[in-house]
Amino acid sequence: MQSFENTFHQYSWTFVHDRIYSVRKADVQRSLHKTKKTIDDFLVLLSPAASDSLEEMAQLTQQLTQKRFGKTIQLYAPLYLSNECQNICTYCGFSMDNQIKRRTLSSIEIMQEAAALKAMGVNHVLLVSGEANKTVGIDYFLKAIKLLRPHFAHISIEVQPLSREEYEAVHQAGVHAVLVYQETYHEEVYKRYHPKGKKSNFAFRLDTPDRIGQAGLHKIGLGVLLGLEDWRVDSFFNALHIDYLQKTYWQTKYSVSFPRLRPAEGIIEPNFIMEDRDLLQLICAYRIWNADLEISISTRENEKFRNHIISLGATTMSAASKTNPGGYVVDPQSLEQFETSDERSMDEVRKVIYQKGYEPVMKDWDTYW
Amino acid sequence: MNTLTIADKTFNSRLFLGTGKFGRLEEMTEAVRSSGSELVTMALKRVDLQSDSDDLLQALQIPDVNLLPNTSGARNAEEAVLAAQLAREALETNWVKLEIHPDPRYLLPDPIETLKATELLAKVGFVVMPYIHADPVLCKRLEDAGTAVVMPLGAPIGSNKGLLTLDFLEIIMEQSNVPVVIDAGIGAPSDAAKAMEIGADAVLVNTAIAVANDPTAMAIAFKEAVIAGRRAYEAGLAASHAVAVPSSPLTDFLLHK
């Protein structure tokens, strides 16, 4: 079986760290002006040395994004199916050791939430759950997908890592994209943050995008949880992963998300703080390195940042998100996975995008694929 | 200027437009109007066929403008054929622009699946307009399969690099029995003029207009360039010479007794 592991082990954390922190200004200029960029240029562009060239990077980012994606932003919203979870992730509101009320939506409740999303104009939906394989396993997902399929043009999922066969089944049922974040590529740190549950298996998670690619899904979304470790080093490994996947599963699209650790009930504070300026630099580095990458910005980010990022590399945004199961209508009081920072309605976000001279796109896929 | 006929339709304008990437639908409508184009393509996946008030379709209700649904997003013949059939039902048109690009990065067309889909669709009465590589042999194979036109690329789609495939385009035009529409890579009005000068029957432009600071002004520039290029082609361009030819040193002796 094809696996990212071989590529991954060619780079040590320290080696990548030292390279990033020894980049010089001249390297930044050289990388910025090359016509074909490689993963090494990405490393250069996310270095502290490149931070001084942020305005230039932003200009280039805007130009490249408009050329490839036009002046458009795709909008979607998450639908949280369940907050049951058997993992302990010390930063997550759904963590097993967190004493909260657990809830898994029934079929009727799923349809109630779906109707609320449809009323907001949502046509691309992201299904999210914790990891509780017995109650919220493949059969539950297939049932939910079957229910939702006729009502949404595009369905993606962000659930526990599945087997290749299970990915084939959800693909067959009508899922177009799967999001799975490695959280951190630092193996020891990963083990510290994920002490218990199936998720504690670093290698199984690392191989998950391979299984998704082999199952023929249209799109794979990757990301690291920004705040667990040094974002620069972690992001290099994330890009290395995308680089490998793009070459291996060449028919698949890739998107990257930027979950910055946000406060949630009963969780730890981030170890590494990532400022807005850093996040912008990272987004620009991704865009300049890889013009075709979809860049997704969630409601973890605040209004001001989101308003500006519309014309600075973003291609996809969630809006009006509720991060708790039943959050739209069924049980608005249940516990959230994380606090959203931008609480504007879908219409308000659409208006902001429009005012920036961009078209908010509600539909860019179809049920027949 | 001669008109262009494809299947049952005659076009005064030889500029076709794509409708993606515009920041505002009103801007797109205005650009289409100003361009004088009579054929615009739109991605089926962007259209909500279940709704009677889809934004994009509404914005494309422009007098004298024909809609050309495209299958962008399809990865193989089967998906493209399905999309074309749905378009025929919902939009009441048997015209389809085949875009089959399994590679989501450079959106390069799959020649094998495109040929397969063309065969299937032409057989059941579609007017097929396939987006393809500038491959002269593939063009002839598509003709055999019943394609209405061929749409070779000038450069990678969205790249604005112009006519990088010029030598192959010239072979295609020389050999073709169906109209040749240059589809991708045209970045500047001068590229469009050049394509028309060498004998393309039409060009299709999207990114260069949609992403311009002033899409309407750019649409007018392309309109004029296409007309200029076509006029030059019809007038018969003077041959160009790589070296100056002041006299006939090798054959002058024939004039002397």
Q: How confident is the model at residue B66 (pLDDT cuts 50, 70, 90)?
A: very high
Look at residue A266 in the predicted model and tell me its pLDDT: 65
Look at residue A267 in the predicted model and tell me its pLDDT: 66
Nearest Cα residue to A282 out of A255, A257, A248: A257
Please give the residue of chain B at the shortest CA–CA distance from A351: B24
For β-strands A124-128 and A154-158, DSSP reports them as parallel
- Percentage with pLDDT > 70 across chain B: 96
> Which of B46, B206, B213, B214 should we substitute to test contact with A (largest number of A Cβ atoms within 10 Å)?
B46
Does the pLDDT of residue A105 top 90, yes or no?
yes
Q: How many CA atoms lie within 13 A of B145 on its CB side?
A: 26
Q: Which of A251, A358, A364 sits opposite B75 (nearest CB)?
A: A251
Tokens of B126: 């579609």
Does the pLDDT of residue A311 top 60, yes or no?
yes
Q: The whole model's pTM is what? A: 0.87
Mean pLDDT, range A215-227, rounded to an integer = 96
Residues 6+ away with beta carbon under 8 Å from A304: none
| B44 vs A contacts (CB less than 8 Å) | 366
Is B25 in a helix, a strand, or coil?
helix
Mean pLDDT of chain B: 92
* A152 reaches B (C-beta below 8 A): no
Which single residue is written with the structure tokens 């667990």? A228
Tokens of B207: 């990114």
Buried/exposed B158-178: b ≥16 CB within 10 Å, e otherwise: bbbbbbbbeebbbbbbeebeb
Look at residue A47 in the predicted model and tell me its pLDDT: 98
Does the pLDDT of residue B242 top 60, yes or no?
no
Per-residue pLDDT tens digits for B118-161: 999 999 999 999 999 999 999 999 999 999 999 999 999 888 89
| B24 vs A contacts (CB less than 8 Å) | 71, 354, 357, 359
Asked if A222 and A254 touch (Cβ cutoff 8 Å), the reply is: yes
Does the pLDDT of residue A369 top 70, yes or no?
no
Does the pLDDT of residue A295 top 80, yes or no?
yes
Q: How confident is the model at residue A339 (pLDDT cuts 50, 70, 90)?
A: confident
Does the pLDDT of residue A94 top 80, yes or no?
yes
The alpha carbon dihedral of B105, B108, B111, B114 has a sign of positive
For β-strands A72-80 and A359-361, DSSP reports them as parallel
Q: In terms of C-beta density within 10 A (0-12 exposed, 13-18 middle, 19 or more buried), how is residue A119 classed?
A: exposed
Mean pLDDT, range A157-180, rounded to an integer = 97
Mean pLDDT of chain A: 93
For β-strands A177-179 and A219-222, DSSP reports them as parallel
* A66 reaches B (C-beta below 8 A): yes
Look at residue B241 in the predicted model and tell me its pLDDT: 58
Does the pLDDT of residue A264 top 70, yes or no?
no
Distance CA B59, CA B25 (A): 6
Distance CA A157, CA A221 (A): 10
Asked if B142 and B179 touch (Cβ cutoff 8 Å), the reply is: no
Per-residue pLDDT tens digits for B185-195: 999 999 999 99
Look at residue A270 in the predicted model and tell me its pLDDT: 78
Per-residue pLDDT tens digits for B74-120: 999 999 999 999 899 888 899 999 999 998 888 899 999 999 999 99
- Cβ neighbours of B226 (radius 10 Å): 28
Interface A:B, Cβ pairs < 8 A: 74
Q: Is B97 a catalytic residue?
A: yes
Tokens of B142: 């598509």
Q: Which of B20, B22, B104 sits opposite A292 (nearest CB)?
A: B104
* A369 reaches B (C-beta below 8 A): yes
Tokens of A348: 């308000």
Mean pLDDT, range B159-164, rounded to an integer = 91
Q: How many CA atoms lie within 13 A of B73 on its CB side?
A: 23
| B59 vs A contacts (CB less than 8 Å) | none
- Partners of B39 in the β-ladder: B66
Catalytic residue, candidates B21, B45, B97, B257: B97
* Overall residue count recorded for chain B in this entry: 257
Alpha-helical (H) ranges within A177-253 are: 187-193, 202-206, 208-214, 231-248
Mean pLDDT, range B46-71, rounded to an integer = 88
Does the pLDDT of residue B222 top 60, yes or no?
yes
Tokens of A292: 């075709």
Asked if A216 and A257 touch (Cβ cutoff 8 Å), the reply is: no
Per-residue pLDDT tens digits for A230-239: 999 999 999 9
Q: How many CA atoms lie within 13 A of B110 on its CB side?
A: 23
Of A51-55, B30-34, B151-155, B233-237, which gets the smallest average pLDDT? Answer: B233-237
Distance CA B148, CA A321 (A): 47
